[in-house]
Structure 1
């Protein structure tokens, strides 16, 4: 049974991580001093808020 120390989200994240799934919030990656889309790999200026290639948003 779950203890009071762990929230439901933490337990769910642990369940997924134990099965090889990533549980981090998706965010921009960095490559050559530019933002890189984690979905398609498109490179963008640091001011970008949306991927102009696939439309991904953090």
Structure 2
């Protein structure tokens, strides 16, 4: 993932992908232009749409 804006506390909730899945990192904060790759072990049927549905971050306050 490459951030277009500030992304605070990005988290991939691996257990939403598969009960046995484990992500290789926890909370990540990204500045615009920074990127991160989060590895997942134990996910039997990987696909991008499911991964997107398991990504969460702190939404900016207004």
With structure 1 as the length reference, what TM-score do the two structures score? Answer: 0.21
Q: Which has the higher strand share?
A: 2
Q: Which has the higher helix share?
A: 1
Larger RCO (CA within 8 A; separation ≥ 6): 2
